[in-house]
Amino acid sequence: MNRSTKEVALGILPPPLLSNESNIKAYRSQAAFYDATLGIVFAQGRRRALEVLAPQAGERVLEVGVGTGLSLPLYPPGLKLTGIDLSPEMLHRAERRVLGRPGIQLLQMDAQAMNFPDGSFDKAAAMYISSVVPDPAAMLRELNRVVRPGGLILILNHFSDPASLMSRCEILLQPLTRRLGFHPYFPLQLFLQSTGFVPERVESVKPFGYWTLLAGRAKPATSKA
């Protein structure tokens, strides 16, 4: 089937595919200037995400796509905090940021296929990674598996509004998807349908309300499907 922009926009076809390989390459190039660019743009959202996540001493918390670790100083002490990322270059910067801080483990790992046993965490955060991973449904399945049933899963991302003018620009950017390292056009409805994630909280996040925070609970294993 031929891929047309209109079909992609309508959600009939998936947008141009990202791969782990293309992401590793994209974030290898971005790592050196990430903190001074997107790192700053995303700062308010990260702070809000941490308020909603409200990690408590003693909790086991996972952050997937931890990047250069800009969120790590926002977590209180006394947690068992694990951050994973696919990009060695991004992760290396995160490691330098938290050097010597106890209770933090950083691992190179794919958020779509994690090595943790079921129910390993009380809470998990995925900030600005849902439109980055090639298979968001696989990432959500994994988050649902590694967070204990009833534990909090927090997603922070930009989601496109197909009715908006902005989404037309995002569609125009789709040919650059691999280089950007994320899907510029990423409708919320498609995300929720494809992942089965049922948020109990949906909140617009600054700057400009362009990003959305979703918070929901990990389902018991029996109702995973």
Ligand X SMILES: C[S@@+](CC[C@H](N)C(=O)[O-])C[C@H]1O[C@@H](n2cnc3c(N)ncnc32)[C@H](O)[C@@H]1O
Contact by Cβ (8 Å): 186, 131: yes
Tell me if 79 contacts ligand X by CB under 6 A: no
Can you tell me which of 46, 60, 141, 183 binds ligand X, judged by CB under 6 A? 46
Q: How far is the CB of 163 from ligand X (least distance, A)?
A: 25
What are the backbone angles phi and psi of residue 63, rounded to the nearest 5°?
-120, 120
Q: Is 64 in the site for ligand X (CB under 6 A)?
A: yes
Report the nearest approach of ligand X to the CB of residue 95 (Å): 13
In the region spanning residues 2 to 21, those forming contacts with ligand X, defined by CB under 6 A, are: 20
Report if residue 72 touches ligand X, rule: CB under 6 A.
Answer: no
Burial (Cβ within 10 Å: 0-12, 13-18, ≥19) of residue 196: middle
Q: What is the dihedral of CA 5, 11, 13, 19, to 10 degrees?
A: 90
Listed residue (93, 91, 111, 86) closest to 23, CA to CA:
86
Structural contact between residues 45 and 206, judged by C-beta atoms closer than 8 angstroms: yes
Rounded least distance, CB 132 to ligand X, Å: 5
Q: Pattern of binders to ligand X over 125-154, x per CB under 6 A?
A: --xxx--xx---------------------
Question: Which positions lie near ligand X, rule CB under 6 A?
Answer: 20, 23, 27, 38-39, 42, 46, 64-67, 70-71, 84-87, 90, 110-112, 127-129, 132-133
